[in-house]
Structure 1
Amino acid sequence: MTHAAENGKRGPLDREPLAYLAAALRGVGQVDLQPQLLTGAFILAGLWAAGWKVGLFATLGTLLSTASAYALGADRGSLSRGLQGYSGCLTGIALVGSLGHHPATYVLTAVGCVLCTVLTAALTTLLGPYGLTPLTAPFCVVSGVIVLGAPSFARIWHGAPAPVADPTSGDTGITFSDLWHAFFANVSQVFLVDSWYVGLIMLAGLACAGVRVVLWAALGSVAGIVAAWALGAPTAQISAGIYGYNAVLVGIALGAVFLAGTGWNAGYALFGAGLSTGLTAAITSFFAPFGGHTFTWPFILTTWALLAAVPQLPRLRAATA
């Protein structure tokens, strides 16, 4: 199953030099929990379309985290499936977006990718007995700590980070233009990008992973929009995808990856997508006083909690490997 640990000692990376690049490309797709090469290629193309800095640091982050995992002897099965690269991909994007394009950002990205590898291994060990996986928690912890501490160091800090969403401001009116922009931006904001056409490219990549995957990405986006509007979130932030990207990830995780395709599971996945939207505001408010970032914490906490409950809820069924 995607994002599950594998125990094999040897794999494609030992036999094919180009497999390293393939593993890194799969790592880009694994941000959306998909290991397909074509999915990773579309998403990476979308990131470069968002701007050369985003594309460059997404690429560097994925390559560096995959390389560090390989150097440290990480499981070859997880490496070949891209499970060691996705947190590095997001870390690279987050650091260049928050710290700017400076030499120090390259150094911190390299350090952050190594830390992501170590933290992925640690969380895999800790969460394994509970049937859970690290998801994007290594990225959230590493990037969150670096960005939070950066203002204390003159050689690192070169300006203010991107603003954190303020759930208490703005109006609640919404137009059709806001809705369709939000639908696609929800997908691109998984990678910290506000762009409807980047979201469209990424959806095309998710379609390469299968109908069920792209369907649940779309359903998660819609659920995020509906929940945010119903709760009275600011229109500008709904349109920018601030409130919906976690719902997209929850939709894919619960609807297409970790749970079987049953009616009860579908309702559970939609419930989780809406729940993550409300949790986005709560976590943003929690981090705001000390300048922290929400990142994908709502997705992580929602998915962990709902998956941990599945063994005790007989009407829900986990997906078979």
Structure 2
Amino acid sequence: MHAASTQAKSAALRTLLRSLGQIVLQPNAFTGACLLAGWLLVEPRLACAALMGATAANVSAVLAGYREADTRDGLHGFNGALAGLAAFNFIADNATAAAVAILAATATAWFLEPWTRRLRANGLGVFSSPFLIVTWLWLPMITSGAPVAPQAITPPFIATQWINGILGALAQPGFGSGALPGLLVLIGIAAASRRHALWALIGGALASMAHVLLGATASSLDAGLLGFNGALTAIALADCGAAATLCGVGVAVLLQAVASYFGWPAMTAPFVLASWSVQGFRHRFTRGVVARKAMERIDPSQQLS
């Protein structure tokens, strides 16, 4: 009985950590542990938020009867973790943030399954879209002070700022910042897939450089705000080929620049929309090729009849 209880607790912990790892698209418990360590290093409040959101979403998925294998892989928990992180990032009061985090995380879990079926029918991944939709629904309801203007420092940037910016971009998907937390995330990604880790660096670096050319400030680079959508897009599209991946990173840069110009809280939306654009094009192209091959296999006399 004791052994069975220990195994159940171990399985639950791995599921929780995989939910955190899925934030950077890795169904790996060690990746999740690296993200958790990064949050503890930056601000323990973020670690509590992620754990709270992931737990609420996973429990909701179990109660809804979703596939156990998907829950174990963290697919039902990571949007909940992001919902919890967003609540504690945008709401200062801990009690209010906790209530919003649990409700929002639960909403992402209940919304996930039908939304995933609809997206997969069109060849699209779900990514962090449930978290974005739920967060955008409650975000206008909160009041906040005027945004702080970024520090007006212009290029050239020194090497340490580039290092901080590129590594910090890997921490930003989980609302973290800093080179050391970003390095922990990179180690976690590399443990799951060295190729994804390389693409994350490439995507983050290219996106950061592109935003600097578009006039981004040094403070934004230091915080890792310039490259995280590019890094996520590069990971998501790594299996689509180099050309498609680089094209997706470019689209993510443009979308983030537009959102920043208008002051929209885009979060990971540029990554999701850029990935969808590439996946949607590939899906339609593949269907067209299959249809043409099917027509070619039909006997010419049948085509004329």
Which band: TM-score by shorter chain?
A: 0.7 to 0.9
What letter is aligned with 1:54? L
Q: Which of the numbers 80, 89, 97 marks the counterpart of 1:97? A: 89
Q: In the superposition, relative to structure 1, how do residues 160 and 21 fare at CA in structure 2: closer, same or farther (>3 Å)?
A: farther
What letter is aligned with 1:252? I
Contact 1:254 1:269 in 2 (8 A): yes
Q: Which of the numbers 18, 35, 38 marks the counterpart of 1:43? A: 35
1:67 and 1:165 map into 2 onto residues whose CA distance is: 40
Name the counterpart of 1:276: 252
Contact 2:211 2:257 in 1 (8 A): no
1:84 and 1:104 map into 2 onto residues whose CA distance is: 24
Q: Which of the numbers 248, 260, 272 marks the counterpart of 2:231? A: 248
Q: Which of the numbers 98, 110, 117 marks the counterpart of 2:102? A: 110
1:194 and 1:16 map into 2 onto residues whose CA distance is: 34
The 5 Å alignment of 1:187-226 reads 187-226=170-209
Name the counterpart of 2:293: none
Q: Which of the numbers 74, 80, 83 marks the counterpart of 2:66? A: 74
What letter is aligned with 1:76? E
2:209 and 2:260 map into 1 onto residues whose CA distance is: 19
Q: Does 1:296 align with 2:299?
A: no
Contact 2:122 2:283 in 1 (8 A): no
Name the counterpart of 1:230: 213
Q: TM-score, normalised by structure 2?
A: 0.85
2:267 and 2:285 map into 1 onto residues whose CA distance is: 29
Equivalent pairs counted in the alignment come to: 280
- Write the deviation string for residues 236-295 of structure 1: whole angstroms up to 9, x where unpaired: 21232212100010011111xx43xxxxx1122122113212210112334x2xxx5111
Secondary structure of 1:130's counterpart equals coil
Higher helix share: 2
The 5 Å alignment of 1:17-166 reads 18-151=10-143, 159-160=144-145, 163=147
What letter is aligned with 1:91? A
Deviation at 1:170, TM superposition (A): 5.2
Deviation at 1:235, TM superposition (A): 2.6
Of residues 89-98 and 171-180 in structure 1, the stretch that sits farther from structure 2 once superposed is 171-180
What letter is aligned with 1:61? G
The sequence identity of aligned pairs, in percent, is: 26
2:30 and 2:160 map into 1 onto residues whose CA distance is: 30
Q: Which has the larger radius of gyration?
A: 2
Deviation at 1:214, TM superposition (A): 0.9
Contact 1:98 1:160 in 2 (8 A): no
1:313 and 1:123 map into 2 onto residues whose CA distance is: 23
2:49 and 2:182 map into 1 onto residues whose CA distance is: 18
Q: Does 1:307 align with 2:279?
A: yes
Deviation at 1:198, TM superposition (A): 0.6
1:114 and 1:33 map into 2 onto residues whose CA distance is: 20
2:199 and 2:131 map into 1 onto residues whose CA distance is: 23
1:100 and 1:126 map into 2 onto residues whose CA distance is: 35
Contact 2:165 2:226 in 1 (8 A): no
Secondary structure of 2:200's counterpart equals helix
